[in-house]
Amino acid sequence: MRLAKTFAKLLAQERVCRVATANHGGAPHVVPVCHVLLEGKLYFGAASDSEKIRNIRANPRVAVVVDLYSDDWRQLKGVTVRGTARLIDRGREFRTVRGLLYRKYSQYPDEAALEAPDSVIVEVTPTHATSWGLE
């Protein structure tokens, strides 16, 4: 599916999203991650042995939320994306997305460097998206 322009804009500009995964038994796990949007797909890095990666290996269906809170609830905005995750553990694609993450988040190289085989890049291909507060 192709993301609406307003959805893509919010996903691209925000600096953190929440990713929900579930293991093969259905137990949920939700964590914040730093992400980039490229050609309609969402990407983030993770440790190869993290719970979210173990869950994705068992069940590649994920959900992602980006939202903007305001005490004026008429201003609330957000996007929820459901999709399928694919793990990228090396190669040109890994290096390209890592470079995008490093450019968006200057802390990444020093604080949480992404290096194979200890890290993977997760690609989320949207299959369904909804929003609130967006025109």
Q: What is the pLDDT of residues 74-108, one digit of tens each?
A: 999 999 999 999 999 999 999 999 999 999 999 98
* Domain-wise residue ranges, the chain: 5-130
Given this model, what pLDDT does residue 110 score? 85
Query: Strands across the sheet with 41-47, in order?
Result: 28-33, 17-22, 61-68, 77-88, 119-132, 41-47, 35-38
Q: What is the pLDDT of residue 93?
A: 96
Q: How much is the pLDDT for 112? A: 85
Tokens matching residue 134:
């967006």
- What are the CA-CA distances from residue 128 to residues 3, 7, 13, 65 (Å)? 9, 12, 20, 12
Q: State residue 122's pLDDT score.
A: 98
Over the stretch 32-56, which tens digit does the pLDDT of each residue have?
999 999 999 999 999 999 999 999 9
Which CATH superfamily includes the segment(s) 5-130? Electron Transport, Fmn-binding Protein; Chain A (2.30.110.10)
